[in-house]
Amino acid sequence: MSAWRWVESILLLLPIRVALAALFGTAAVLKLADPQAFLFTMKAFGVFDADRHDYLLILLAFAIPWAELLAAAALLLGFWTRSAALLLSLLLLAFSTSLLMVISRHIDTSCSCFGSHDFICKGAVGWCHVARNAVLLVASVLVAWRGGGGLALDALCGRGGCRKAAVEPEPTPA
């Protein structure tokens, strides 16, 4: 691995991975602690008709925090890093689209992104929440593009899996 790749891993990718894992892990735990609140928030967002798609909303109220939790764990370990970051990017795109719909419809509701707690943005859904999501989206897309870096389980296992990586170590530059 080149020196630049190590610098990128330690100074850029590792901090971003840890920060994203901490944020989404916390968000997931807070949502799973009170799934009812998250369900009401999704209902208030009005993306799905609660009368017609009540089972879908209930499933999403549990599945989304679980997806965040699994992605956070994967990012922290650096295992399936690009997949986890891609998943978070997709979630952030979906969240941002929902937030824009809420703002455009002038719906007065809280975000419940971190349960009943606030992170940076306070009060009802607004542009602050969209901006926060945009920053997180840039970070997660960066990890999805560049991978977990040298300090990740993915790097230990290499492209061909852990066994192959052990037999065929990455060649060192001359």
Of residues 106-125, which lie at the interface with other proteins (CB under 8 A)?
107-110, 116
Does 50 bind other proteins (CB under 8 A)? Our answer is: yes
Specify the DSSP class assigned to residue 159. Answer: T
Q: Which of 98, 123, 96 is nearest to 109 (CA)?
A: 123
As a whole number of angstroms, the distance between CA 25 and CA 65 comes to: 9
Question: By 3-state DSSP, what share of the chain in percent is helix, strand and coil, each rounded to 5?
Answer: 70, 5, 25
Three-state DSSP class for residue 119: strand
Does 74 bind other proteins (CB under 8 A)? Our answer is: yes
CA dihedral over 82, 138, 170, 18, signed as positive or negative: negative
CB-nearer residue toward other proteins: 90 or 101:
90
Q: What is the closest distance, in whole angstroms, from the C-beta atom of residue 18 to other proteins in the complex?
A: 19
Candidates 3-11, 33-41, 127-135, 163-171 — which segment interacts with other proteins by CB under 8 A?
Answer: 33-41
Candidates 43-51, 95-103, 125-133, 134-142 — which segment interacts with other proteins by CB under 8 A?
Answer: 43-51
As a whole number of angstroms, the distance between CA 55 and CA 57 comes to: 5
Among 21, 30, 60, 121, binds other proteins (CB under 8 A): 60
Among 16, 21, 23, 64, binds other proteins (CB under 8 A): 64
Query: Does residue 80 contact residue 144 with C-beta atoms inside 8 Å?
Result: no
Q: Which parts of this chain interact with other proteins (CB under 8 A)? A: 32, 34-37, 39-40, 43-44, 50-51, 54, 57-67, 69-71, 74, 80, 82-84, 86-87, 90, 107-110, 116, 144, 159
